[in-house]
Amino acid sequence: MKRIILSLIAVASMLASCTKDYAPKPRGYFRIDMPEKKYRHYFSPDCPFEFDLPVYAEVKKDSNRLAEPCWMYVVFPSLNAQLYFTYKTIHNDMEKYAEDSRTMVYKHTVKASAIDENVINNVQNHVHGIMYDIGGNAASNLQFYVTDSVNHFIRASLYFNAPPQSDSLAPSISFIRGDVLRLVNTLKWK
């Protein structure tokens, strides 16, 4: 008798749990806790520029054997990202550097859904250039170059140590974009 009652309860619970409107659950992502926005002034006695840098980022010298003296990484350890940062001294070749930067950005068109160019024009500090916002699942979603058009040229590109999935990286990209804007707006040439 107990078996019959248990069997009826099991069958009833199976029938009650069936519904016609089944939808698979979307894949979830880890929550990212963004650090508090605070900045410190960064300068290197060996490089002809200075700027504000987030306290949660660190600067590491580029150790590649082909790296030039003022090439570096701005590393965001908590966000698993780094901004590759290169500096060149201009010798009547500014147009070449600008075109090289543009070419490197547009190599991402294979995966990019859009590339927006935003003009950087800080007249007070003689900092001019272009910031590229690259939409979609491109390897780098943010790049820029800045120059004084006479002596200095800086190019930077943001990369994450994660597969390029724009939907899951969007909060981190947006957060770091604010830091990059602060860097560019406080950049001064020495």
Residue 68 domain-assigned? yes
Between 57 and 26, residue with greater pLDDT: 57
pLDDT higher than threshold 70 for residue 168? yes
Question: Which CATH number is 85's domain given?
Answer: 3.40.1000
| pLDDT of 22 | 65
Residue 27 domain-assigned? no
Residue 38 domain-assigned? no
Cα–Cα distance measured from residue 103 to residue 91, given in angstroms and rounded to the nearest whole number: 20
| pLDDT of 57 | 97
pLDDT per position as a tens digit, 80-111: 999 999 999 999 999 999 999 999 999 998 88
Share of residues in the chain with pLDDT > 70 (%):
94
Residue 57 contacts residue 179 (beta carbons within 8 Å): yes
Overall domain count for the chain: 1
Residue 182 domain-assigned? yes
Cα–Cα distance measured from residue 168 to residue 71, given in angstroms and rounded to the nearest whole number: 29
Residue 54 corresponds to which amino acid? P
Residue 39 domain-assigned? no
Mean pLDDT of the chain: 90
| pLDDT of 28 | 67
Residue 161 domain-assigned? yes
| pLDDT of 19 | 62
Q: Which domain holds residue 98?
A: 49-189
Question: What pTM did the predictor assign?
Answer: 0.81
Q: Could you tell me which residues come within 8 angstroms of residue 108 by beta carbon, excluding any fewer than 6 positions away?
A: 115, 134, 138, 139, 140
Residue 112 domain-assigned? yes
pLDDT per position as a tens digit, 133-163: 999 999 999 999 999 999 999 999 999 998 8
Residue with tokens 């899951």: 168
pLDDT per position as a tens digit, 22-50: 677 777 666 778 999 999 999 998 999 99
Residue 21 domain-assigned? no
pLDDT higher than threshold 80 for residue 17? no
